[in-house]
Structure 1
Amino acid sequence: MPIFPKHGARCHCGDVILERALPNWVESSRRYDRSVCKRKGEIGFSIPLSGLRIVQGAAWLTRYQLFNIRTAKHCFGKVCGIYTHHQHRFDPNVYA
């Protein structure tokens, strides 16, 4: 199976559609150690802020800022509640 430099993603209901630039995602992927990520078996990767484009449904995203300093910004579909992406707490210059 070929590895494409751009990948589409969408929330569960399809209101939000994203395009992510992942030229080296295989080399930079990792397992997150947060409990919710472990339960989902999530494999993560980081991309620069410019590497994510909201193709459709920006108005249908809602943001939840976690922890005391409110640096991490987790985005979810407003209708279905599905997590789509987040901006890192330790590096706010990248999305995961």
Structure 2
Amino acid sequence: MAEHGDPVLITHIGGELVELPGSLGGIRAGLPDDAAREAFDAEIDAAPLTQVPLIAARWGLPQEAIDEDEAIFRRLEAGDHSGMIPAEELDGYTG
């Protein structure tokens, strides 16, 4: 859980609502070791500003979320589109 006033991002992972760090400092602080923090710093330092949000999102996601996304991609690649909503049907979609 974030400290009071720290920015957070909220998403769903495994059907549960989860708070993720909402700042570069929060993401960095949550990394497991110095090697990961150094790799994060190097990637952020070298990134074009337009790519920083995407890089931060990737580093800020826990492994469970990455695994969940990869499982969905593998299922789609295999031709299983069950549970998916075509984009043209999303107008007004409320979940």
TM-score of the superposed pair, with normalisation by structure 2? 0.26
**Structure number with higher strand proportion:** 1
**Structure number with higher helix proportion:** 2
